[in-house]
């Protein structure tokens, strides 16, 4: 008798093949049979009218700190993710010397918007080396499997100390030591190496990230560690020095190319998005990726399925009045008191005469782009939308707060002020900063359908007060497969992209497909009933920290290694997740 049979569903097996009716049988952590009319199991899941898919493999998360205090791995685990890759964008917590704990916390706080107080209270620091980090988090039960990448920032700080953030190049000896530590981590099962070069990434103290200071010799030297190995990937985030102008693009993409060639042809992924400051830059990236792929180099781009933006609110990290003098004077008050003050007509009249004071600069984690946006609230209003109870992530521009204000004959600043006060100040607004230059997701469709594209950039565990994009896999199915009026993606293709394609990219051959002998990482989904709830702020981080959470309806069950970790959208308490070791 099988341990479990998922009976009567439509199997979407992850390969891109057409869906077919079949039962799926599980023994232990493995799929042992796929076919019609299988014998009974000790337990059964009725999948009549439902689809059965492999579990999602998310190649871009930031649970590096959360894994040491949290076993649930939400929100990813409640959106069908069964394997998550940590250590993205060059930030993380190993290797680390005890004296640098606070430095790495400030980096993660600034770059990924995770409260420093939560990190300081929650991280156990039961490690120094990267292999020790993997052992430490593997000793903690988790719902889902975890794959760890070596983050460049932590590696550089470990080797160079204060010089890592002092705009100093790494010496030959520094590079050799970083190479040895990276090689040690890869030998211990790390899945790869990540680095970041973004104008908008800075520490909580306003300092550039250590990786952004790295010269080509350092990046190439680290990539050389992969040459001759049969496992390991590289991950690169780069905005191509966009705040300084497009003339830097060729230089910055040259670093991507140099790392790819130096690695001996190991797979590399690069974040891709449309930025308003250079609306055609994403096309240049794809042109260069095509050039490298034509030479047989496995370069990929990570794409989001919707706008990359922020959630604005009085409880969130950002909102358009953050730098206004009158608001700054009340910003430390409890929410109810702030709302009461802001509802005073005299207070509102005064703040509407003001403009934002500078927030970015020395000693501030506010990036220059955010400061620019905060100074342009009237423009922001035309790109800000009320999500409502059924979140719309491709809204018509005519429904923006600014457009509605214009139709009512009132100022945009006035309208966005009132919108923030709705629901007693708990209202959340959606502001797509990137991928929405033309007011639609047509360019996103082009990105996602490119042969080099990987679903990514969910940032699960990060930007906890500004986004909740760990719901990307669910959105891909609801909007791009089922609901979008035009340009829909076939179900089997959407499933393939976030199962077999992502698993094979990262180097996992034991999951991502529903096939006998492979891991029983599975989703049972009511596709017609699948839906997203609006994001909401919850206070469940260490030290009382808040984060945005978004739930889903329609996941009947998610299995990891044959165990049901969620049933009808609720965590069951099962903790089969482990740290996966690459190359083993």
- Same domain for 225 and 106, yes or no, is yes
CA distance 251 to 248: 5
Residue-wise pLDDT for 449-464, tens only, equals 999 999 999 999 998 8
- Same domain for 62 and 155, yes or no, is yes
pLDDT confidence bin for 369, thresholds 50/70/90: low
pLDDT confidence bin for 267, thresholds 50/70/90: very high
pLDDT confidence bin for 309, thresholds 50/70/90: confident
pLDDT at 387: 86
- Same domain for 447 and 303, yes or no, is yes
Does residue 419 sit within a domain? yes
pLDDT confidence bin for 368, thresholds 50/70/90: low
pLDDT at 365 over 60: no
Q: Which domain holds residue 78?
A: 56-307+437-506+513-524
pLDDT at 372 over 80: no
Peptide bond into 152 cis (omega under 30): no
pLDDT confidence bin for 344, thresholds 50/70/90: very high
pLDDT at 200: 73
Does residue 10 sit within a domain? no
- Same domain for 401 and 260, yes or no, is no
- Same domain for 409 and 459, yes or no, is no
pLDDT at 213: 80
Q: Which of 43-57, 143-157, 279-293, 305-319 has the lowest mean pLDDT?
A: 305-319
pLDDT at 271 over 60: yes
Residue-wise pLDDT for 475-527, tens only, equals 999 999 999 999 999 999 999 999 999 999 999 999 999 999 999 999 999 99
pLDDT at 326: 97
Residue-wise pLDDT for 533-543, tens only, equals 999 999 999 99
CA distance 483 to 469: 19
- Same domain for 247 and 259, yes or no, is yes
pLDDT confidence bin for 358, thresholds 50/70/90: confident
pLDDT confidence bin for 329, thresholds 50/70/90: very high
3-state SS track over 143-190: CCEEEEEEEHHHHHHHHHHHHHHCCCCCCHHHHHHHHHHHHHHHHCCC
Does residue 285 sit within a domain? yes
Does residue 557 sit within a domain? no
pLDDT at 447: 98
pLDDT at 244: 74
Angstrom distances, CA of residue 181 to CA of 100, 218, 225, 393, 581 = 17, 14, 10, 42, 16
For the segment 357-361, the average pLDDT, to the nearest whole number, is: 70
In 3D, which of 568, 408, 509 has the Cα closest to residue 50? Answer: 568
Angstrom distances, CA of residue 219 to CA of 178, 195, 246 = 10, 9, 22
pLDDT at 361: 59
Residue-wise pLDDT for 70-93, tens only, equals 999 999 999 999 999 999 999 999
pLDDT at 199: 72
For the segment 530-551, the average pLDDT, to the nearest whole number, is: 94
pLDDT at 367: 66
| Bridge-based pairing state of the strands 20-27 and 453-455 | unpaired
pLDDT at 397: 96
For the segment 125-139, the average pLDDT, to the nearest whole number, is: 98
Does residue 196 sit within a domain? yes
- Same domain for 207 and 288, yes or no, is yes
pLDDT at 379: 80
For residue 168, which phi and psi values (nearest 5 degrees)? -115, 140
- Same domain for 163 and 278, yes or no, is yes
Q: For the chain, what is the domain count?
A: 2
Does residue 392 sit within a domain? yes
Of these ranges, 59-63, 237-241, 309-313, the one predicted with the greatest mean pLDDT is 59-63
pLDDT at 363 over 60: no
Does residue 410 sit within a domain? yes
What is the number of alpha carbons within 13 Å of residue 544 lying toward its C-beta?
0
Question: Could you please report the per-residue DSSP string of 58-90?
Answer: ES-B--TTGGGT-SS-TTGGGGTEEEEEE-GGG
Domain endpoint, select from 419, 434, 449: 434
In eight-state DSSP terms, residue 298 is -
Residue-wise pLDDT for 141-194, tens only, equals 999 999 999 999 999 999 999 999 877 899 999 999 999 999 999 999 999 999
pLDDT at 467: 87
- Same domain for 378 and 450, yes or no, is no
Domain endpoint, select from 434, 465, 482: 434
CA distance 209 to 457: 19
pLDDT at 162: 92
Cα-Cα end-to-end distance for the chain = 31
Domain CATH code at residue 476: 3.20.20.140
Domain endpoint, select from 434, 461, 489: 434
CB-count exposure of residue 297 (10 Å: 0-12, 13-18, 19+): middle
pTM for this model (two decimals): 0.95
Residue-wise pLDDT for 374-413, tens only, equals 667 778 899 999 988 889 999 999 999 999 999 999 999 9
- Same domain for 233 and 367, yes or no, is no
Share of the chain above pLDDT 90, in %: 85
Radius of gyration of the chain (CA): 23
CA distance 117 to 212: 25
pLDDT confidence bin for 360, thresholds 50/70/90: low
- Same domain for 180 and 329, yes or no, is no
Average pLDDT of the chain to the nearest whole number: 94
- Same domain for 135 and 202, yes or no, is yes
pLDDT at 33 over 70: yes
Helix (H) or strand (E) holding 328, with range, is helix 325-330
What SS3 class is residue 315? coil
pLDDT at 110: 84
Does residue 538 sit within a domain? no
For the segment 227-235, the average pLDDT, to the nearest whole number, is: 97
For the segment 102-111, the average pLDDT, to the nearest whole number, is: 90
For the segment 53-80, the average pLDDT, to the nearest whole number, is: 97
């Amino acid at each position: 008798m099988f341990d479990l049979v998922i009976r009567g569903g439509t199997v979407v097996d992850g390969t891109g093949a057409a869906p077919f009716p079949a039962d799926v049988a599980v023994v232990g952590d493995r799929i042992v049979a796929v076919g019609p009319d299988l014998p009974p199991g000790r337990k059964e899941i009725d999948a009549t009218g439902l689809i059965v898919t492999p579990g999602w493999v998310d190649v871009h998360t930031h649970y590096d700190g959360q894994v040491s205090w949290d076993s649930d791995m939400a929100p990813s685990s409640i959106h069908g993710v069964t394997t998550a890759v940590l250590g993205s964008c060059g930030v993380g917590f190993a290797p680390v010397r005890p004296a640098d704990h606070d430095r790495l916390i400030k980096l993660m706080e600034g770059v990924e918007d995770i409260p420093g107080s939560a990190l300081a209270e929650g991280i156990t620091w039961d490690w120094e080396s990267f292999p020790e980090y993997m052992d430490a988090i593997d000793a903690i039960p988790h719902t889902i499997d975890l794959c760890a990448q070596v983050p460049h920032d932590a590696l550089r700080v470990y080797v160079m100390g204060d010089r890592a953030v002092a705009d100093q190049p790494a010496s030959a000896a520094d590079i050799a030591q970083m190479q040895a530590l990276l090689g040690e981590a890869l030998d211990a099962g790390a899945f790869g190496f990540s680095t970041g070069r973004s104008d908008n990434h800075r520490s909580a103290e306003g300092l550039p990230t250590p990786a952004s200071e790295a010269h080509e010799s350092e990046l190439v030297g680290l990539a050389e560690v992969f040459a001759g190995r049969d496992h390991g990937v590289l991950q690169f985030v780069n905005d191509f020095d966009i705040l300084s102008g497009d003339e830097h693009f060729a230089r910055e993409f040259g670093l991507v190319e140099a790392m790819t060639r130096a690695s001996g042809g190991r797979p590399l992924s690069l974040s891709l998005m449309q930025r308003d400051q250079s609306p055609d830059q994403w096309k240049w990236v794809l042109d260069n990726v095509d050039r490298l792929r034509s030479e047989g180099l496995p370069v990929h781009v990570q794409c989001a399925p919707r706008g990359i933006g922020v959630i604005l609110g009085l409880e969130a990290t950002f909102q358009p009045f953050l730098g206004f003098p009158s608001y700054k004077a009340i910003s430390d008050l409890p929410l109810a008191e702030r709302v009461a003050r802001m509802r005073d007509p005299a207070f509102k009249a005064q703040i509407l005469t003001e403009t934002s004071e500078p927030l970015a600069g020395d000693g501030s984690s506010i990036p220059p782009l955010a400061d620019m946006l905060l100074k342009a609230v009237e423009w922001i209003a035309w790109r800000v939308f009320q999500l409502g109870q059924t979140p719309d992530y491709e809204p018509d521009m005519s429904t923006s707060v600014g457009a509605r204000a214009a139709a009512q004959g009132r100022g945009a600043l006035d309208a966005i002020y009132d919108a923030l006060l709705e629901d007693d100040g708990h209202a959340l607004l959606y502001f797509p900063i990137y991928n929405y230059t033309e007011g639609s997701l047509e360019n996103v469709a082009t990105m996602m359908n490119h042969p080099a594209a990987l679903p990514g950039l969910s940032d699960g565990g990060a930007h906890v007060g500004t986004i909740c994009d760990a719901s990307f896999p669910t959105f891909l199915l609801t909007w791009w497969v089922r609901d979008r009026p035009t340009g829909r993606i076939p179900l089997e293709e959407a499933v393939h992209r976030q199962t077999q394609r992502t698993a094979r990219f990262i180097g996992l051959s034991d999951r991502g497909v529903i096939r006998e002998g492979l891991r029983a990482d599975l989703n049972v989904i009511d596709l017609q009933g699948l839906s997203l709830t609006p994001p909401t702020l919850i206070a469940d981080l260490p030290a009382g920290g808040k984060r945005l959470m978004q739930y889903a309806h329609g996941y009947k069950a998610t299995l990891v290694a044959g165990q049901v970790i969620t049933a009808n959208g609720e965590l069951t308490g099962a903790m089969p997740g482990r740290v996966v070791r690459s190359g083993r």
